[in-house]
Amino acid sequence: MAKKPSAASGRARRSGSGAVANTGNRQLTVKVKSARGRKNSSTRWLQRQLNDPYVAEARALGLRSRAAFKLLELDDRFHFLKPGQKVVDLGAAPGGWTQVAVDRVNAMKPGGGTVVGLDILEWETVAGATCITKDFNDPDAPDVLKAALGGPADVVLSDMAAPTTGHPPTDHLRIMALLELAWDFAEDVLAPGGTFVCKVFQGGTEGELLTRMKSLCETVRHAKPPASRKESSEMYVIASGFRGRPADRDHDDASDDDTETRA
């Protein structure tokens, strides 16, 4: 799997639009003129895309999105994806994270891992993965995912984000609602020792969810990978060493007590 792009890699990569994204120690900037009928925001977005080395590198390497580099960088640092694991990818479209997961767990090899991705948007199948188009809010979505996975998950990934309204407090509340659903699912499907990786936007209401994670996981860490845009408020939470759901732990404790009583 590819490493993150470097401005000093010494090789120029050309995007499909012809913009050079990486030219050794010197980068060229493409300026986009505002066309009639095009909003200024669209022009700024297009110019940013054309001059983003991650976008060009993802295209050159066959990765479906620049976001793939975020997962690569997170896994290179925290090492939560391993050969043979079962992985769920929530908010998977267009498939960049799914591609990385397939590679890291050896899903294409005999005896390799299993990757199941889900998104509400239509998306092309990723080789080596089960790709589901479905709203995660649907009541039967967890059961569909668990059936495709075929057992407890070692890793649950969530890069889900709600459509933005332009009102930051509202946008924050909407993505936190999605994250709570994702964590509820992770509590239900993660194997002991499993890892939950999710995107959060800082906004003040994430504290309660993080407290829940800390109560059920050995370690909860925060990171902003280099591929995240500097102006973005996004962060990633890596909750590892899942201890199991409270109900499961209570059952285990009760079983231990019964054993001691009989002894």
Distance, in Å, from the CA atom of 219 to the CA atom of 236, rounded to the nearest integer, reads: 14
Q: What is the mean pLDDT of the chain?
A: 81
User: Tell me, what's the pLDDT at 252?
Assistant: 53
Kindly give the residue spans of alpha helices, DSSP state H, lying in 25-95: 40-50, 53-61, 67-78
CATH number for the domain formed by residue range(s) 67-248: 3.40.50.150
Give every CB contact of residue 195 below 8 A, 6+ residues apart in sequence: 80, 154, 155, 156, 238, 239, 240, 241, 242
Q: Can you give the pLDDT at residue 162?
A: 84
- Three-state SS at 227: coil
Closest to 177 (Cα-Cα) out of 160, 197, 155: 160
pLDDT for the residue numbered 259: 46
- From the centroid of its chain, how far is CA 128? 17
Report whether pLDDT(220) > 50: yes
Q: How confident is the model at residue 91 (pLDDT cuts 50, 70, 90)?
A: very high
pLDDT surpasses 90 at 199: yes
Asked whether residue 22 carries a pLDDT value surpassing 50, the answer given is no
- Angle (CA) 202-73-49 rounded to 5° is 75
183 among annotated binding-site residues: no
Q: Strand, coil or helix: what is 225?
A: coil
pLDDT at 179 over 90: yes
pLDDT at 11 over 50: no
- 8 pLDDT exceeds 60? no
Please tell me the distance from the alpha carbon of residue 230 to that of residue 225, in angstroms, as a whole number. Answer: 10
Whole-number percent of the chain with pLDDT over 70: 73
* Distant-in-sequence, close-in-space partners of 76: CB < 8 Å, separation ≥ 6: none
Closest CA to 142 of 192, 90, 210: 90
Give yes or no: 199 in active site: yes
Backbone angles phi, psi at 3, to 5 degrees: -90, 165
Decide if pLDDT at 232 tops 90.
no
Beta pairing class for 86-90 and 153-158: parallel
Q: Assess whether pLDDT exceeds 50 at residue 27.
A: no
Of 71-80, 100-109, 115-124, 160-169, give the lowest mean pLDDT range: 160-169
Size (the chain), residues: 263
pLDDT, average across residues 62-91: 97
List 199, 214, 224, 230, catalytic entry: 199
In DSSP terms, 199 is beta-bridged to 236
On whether 135 is known to bind a ligand per the annotation, the reply is yes
Residue with tokens 């102006």: 231
Summarised one tens digit per residue, pLDDT across range 32-72 is 444 555 555 555 544 555 556 788 888 888 899 999 999 99
What's the pLDDT score for residue 51? 54
> Contact at 8 Å (CB) between 143 and 51?
no
**152-168, pLDDT tens digit by residue?**
999 999 999 888 888 88
Question: Does 188 count as an annotated binding residue?
Answer: no
d(CA 119, CA 47): 28
Where in the chain are all domains bearing CATH 3.40.50.150?
67-248
